[in-house]
Structure 1
Amino acid sequence: MILVLISPRQAGLPFAQWLPEEAGRLVAVTAAGVWAGPGFTDVVTVADYTDDDAVLTAAREAGRRHRPRAVVALAEADVERAALLRREWGLPGLDTTAAAAYRDKVLMKQYARTAGMSVPAFAPVTDVRGITDFMADHPGRVVVKPRGGSGSTGVHVLDAPGQADALAGQVTHGAWEVEEFVEGALHHVDVFRVAGAAVAAVASRYTGAGCLTHWDDAPLGSRNLDPADPLHERLVAETWHLIDALPSPGTVCAHAEFFVTGEGRIVLCEVAARIGGGPIPAMLRHVLGTDPRELWARVECGLPVALDTVRDHARTAPRAAFCGIPPRRGRVLSLPEPPPGAQDFVLGTHVGDDWSEERYRLRKSGDFLATWVVTDPDPAALEGRLEATAELVGAGFGWADSDEHVPAAAGGGAR
């Protein structure tokens, strides 16, 4: 039996199609009301998927009934859960020591710094005093964020110590980190290693402020770098250095993020032991020739994968870019059409979808109303297509204040 942990953001993924050899032996744990997808023999649900104890209890109950031989987990929230279950059941895969290092932003930077890598000045904090003390020692802007957060939730950028007082109600309820603000372009590197051998490493550059662009209601994009670009080579080398600095197993996938400063220095932002979220898998599919989630699900289950084919495709792949439109405060009034030349266009909203004050405030960097991919062998042309399609899709959305009436006939466009 294969146990699959399915967070709501992975709802409906075709695991049965990706793992046909396991037909009749797939069991899912997911949230109540979430469609796990076709092909599961048993689906166990929990009322609140953010509740670690509830998810683990459900998984253990499923394990007693079905005796799993592998645990598959694609979401950040499930990295440590899956590692704990593997340890309890004696299964291969990322273990608890590695999972902790990849989840804890303080721990991962300690490993990286010990290995001689460039990291921002940082410190764990549990109260406002810890933040202000750090700012006294490190003048300038700082970033405060949860040590185990994801999707840029809970991230705050402070310009002055007095702004820390507003966080008093948050940093006292959990583990937080403060670090110096790094001026630089944010890049991500997605790597795959099986049995100690590298399969692929794809370096890409985010647009604008990277994963904080949603703070300005701006589109988020990313485009992969030319493998012949010296920066690509440097970023990939730094990522493998990071993988080796952490207590990583021989078989691992990772999504690392680095700042590249104006002077060309590469500084670690953070790293996760999972495939990148949002539209990144769609972009990587064009580079790798296969959906990276399918690739990794099969690796986790010990099923055959044509790794040499993936390697060859990654070396000769077209340049690709993704874009995502974040929500605005208000209600969706109208929907855009897919822009010309876009591939993998996904519309994740509907007319009347209400991003009210609280929902808008809690939005994540991966909350997109529409996503798509564009490809072009010419870097300048790719950049132009990315900007043009973002403008078209963004203009295609109509918005109303939350308390305004949205006409029933206002819909249209792609779904």
Structure 2
Amino acid sequence: MILVLISARGAGLPFARWLPEMCGQLVAVCAAGADPGEGFAEIVTVTDYNDDDAVLGAARDLAGRHRPNAVFALAEVDVERAARLRGELGLPGLDTATAAAYRDKILMKELAQAAGLLVPAFAPVRHPADIADFMARHPGHVVVKPRSGSGSTGVYVLDSPAQAAGLADIVTSTPYEVEEFVDGAVHHVDAFRVGGRPVAAVVSRYTGQGCLEHWTDAPFGSRSVDTADPICARLVHETWRLVDALVSPPTVCVHAEFFVTGNGDIVLCEVAARIGGGPIPTMLRHVLGIDPRHLWARVECGLPTDLDAVRERVATAPHAAFYGVPPRLGRVQRLPDAPPGVHDFTLNTHVGDEWSPARYSERKSADFLAFWVITDPDFTALGRRLVSTAEQVSAGFVWDRLESEDAA
């Protein structure tokens, strides 16, 4: 039996197709409204998937009835839950101590710094005065973000200590950190290791300011870095150093983000022990030759996987990129057409779809209304096509302003 934790964002994934040997031997804890698909022997739905006690309680009940030999989860919110369940059930995989290091951005940076990796200056935040004190010691922009957040939610970039007072209710109710703003190109490395042996480490560079770009309503994306570029090997090296610094198990997958500064320094942004979100799995499929979630599901569940085929594919794959258009305040009036020559063009919206201020404020960086993937053996041509398709799709959207927005 395999116990699967399925958040709302994991709804619709083809677990039974990815794990055909386990059809009828899968059990799941699901967020309310999430469709786990076919092949499950039992499904328990949790009304509030943010409630750790509810999710863990449902999982323990399932485990007591079915005795699973693996726990599988894809969402950031489930990293520590799955680790805790593995520990209680005596199953292999990420343990609670390592899961905490991948979730808590303070602990993460402490371990990385102790191992010699460059990290931004940082400090825990319990009160706005902590931010003001930090800014007095580190003049300039700072980033204030949840210690265990994801998807750029709850992130604030401050220019002056006076702005900290406006975050009083937020930072006193949720664990936060403050760190210096690093001026550099944001890269991500999606890496997979099985039995202590690397399978793949794909280096990509976000456009603009990466995941923070969506706060400006600007489209953004990511494209793989030319393997001939020396920064590629350096980022891969830093990623494996980071994995070891966080005392990771021999089998692990990570989505690591780094800043590359103008003078070539590589500075850690953060790292997660999971597959990257949004369109990243779709882009990676064109590099790995398999959906990374499919790959990791089989690895985590101890099922046969042709890892050498993945290694060979990565060595010969074309360059790949994704681009996405985020939501904005208002109502969708017209939808774009897919540009010619793109892959996996996906619309996650419809005419009349309304983004109210409340809904808009809760958006994540991966909440694209449209995204697509481009591949090209020519790295320069890939960049040109990325820009042109972004212009076409952005121009294809038409929005109505909401009355509440006009009134504001």
TM category, shorter? over 0.9
How far does the alpha carbon of each residue in 1:333-359 deviate from its partner, in whole angstroms, 9 at most, with x for none?
Answer: 111111111101111111111110111
- 2:15 maps to 15
- 2:186 maps to 186
Alpha-carbon distance in structure 2 between the residues aligned to 1:57 and 1:366 = 29
Q: CA deviation at 1:53?
A: 1.1
- Report the AA paired with residue 62 of structure 1: L
What is the correspondence of 1:115-194 to structure 2 with a 5 Å cutoff?
115-194=115-194
- 2:352 maps to 352
Alpha-carbon distance in structure 2 between the residues aligned to 1:98 and 1:363 = 28
- 1:323 maps to 323
- 1:206 maps to 206
Query: What residue ranges of structure 2 are gaps of 5+ in the alignment?
Result: none
Alpha-carbon distance in structure 2 between the residues aligned to 1:92 and 1:351 = 46
Alpha-carbon distance in structure 2 between the residues aligned to 1:210 and 1:189 = 13
- 1:251 maps to 251
- 2:44 maps to 44
What is the correspondence of 1:261-340 to structure 2 with a 5 Å cutoff?
261-340=261-340
Q: Which ranges of 4 or more aligned residues in structure 1 deviate by more than 4 Å?
A: none
The alignment covers a number of residue pairs equal to 404
Alpha-carbon distance in structure 2 between the residues aligned to 1:180 and 1:126 = 17
Q: CA deviation at 1:402?
A: 2.6
Q: Tell me the TM-score normalized by structure 1.
A: 0.96
Contact 1:281 1:293 in 2 (8 A): yes
- Report the AA paired with residue 209 of structure 2: A
- Report the AA paired with residue 370 of structure 2: A
Matched, 1:223 2:223: yes
- Report the AA paired with residue 93 of structure 1: G
Query: What residue ranges of structure 1 are gaps of 5+ in the alignment?
Result: 405-415
Alpha-carbon distance in structure 1 between the residues aligned to 2:241 and 2:119 = 13
- 1:239 maps to 239
Q: Which moved more, 1:181-190 or 1:36-45?
A: 36-45
Contact 1:227 1:315 in 2 (8 A): no
Contact 1:12 1:38 in 2 (8 A): no
Contact 2:10 2:34 in 1 (8 A): no
Alpha-carbon distance in structure 1 between the residues aligned to 2:272 and 2:63 = 26
- Report the AA paired with residue 280 of structure 2: I
Alpha-carbon distance in structure 2 between the residues aligned to 1:21 and 1:173 = 45
Alpha-carbon distance in structure 1 between the residues aligned to 2:403 and 2:19 = 46
- 1:398 maps to 398
How far does the alpha carbon of each residue in 1:47-78 deviate from its partner, in whole angstroms, 9 at most, with x for none?
Answer: 11111111111111111121111111011011
- 1:383 maps to 383
Q: Matched residue of 2:367: which SS? A: coil
How far does the alpha carbon of each residue in 1:139-189 deviate from its partner, in whole angstroms, 9 at most, with x for none?
Answer: 111100000000000100011000000000100002110000000000000
- Report the AA paired with residue 267 of structure 1: V
CA RMSD of aligned residues (A): 0.9
Alpha-carbon distance in structure 2 between the residues aligned to 1:307 and 1:51 = 36
Name the % identity.
69
- Report the AA paired with residue 393 of structure 2: V
How far does the alpha carbon of each residue in 1:197-219 deviate from its partner, in whole angstroms, 9 at most, with x for none?
Answer: 00000000000110011111111
Alpha-carbon distance in structure 1 between the residues aligned to 2:148 and 2:194 = 26
Q: CA deviation at 1:256?
A: 0.2
Contact 2:333 2:398 in 1 (8 A): yes
- Report the AA paired with residue 329 of structure 2: R
- Report the AA paired with residue 277 of structure 1: G
What is the correspondence of 1:86-105 to structure 2 with a 5 Å cutoff?
86-105=86-105
How far does the alpha carbon of each residue in 1:304-343 deviate from its partner, in whole angstroms, 9 at most, with x for none?
Answer: 1101110010011100000111001001111111111110
- 1:410 maps to none
Alpha-carbon distance in structure 2 between the residues aligned to 1:330 and 1:304 = 48
- 1:407 maps to none
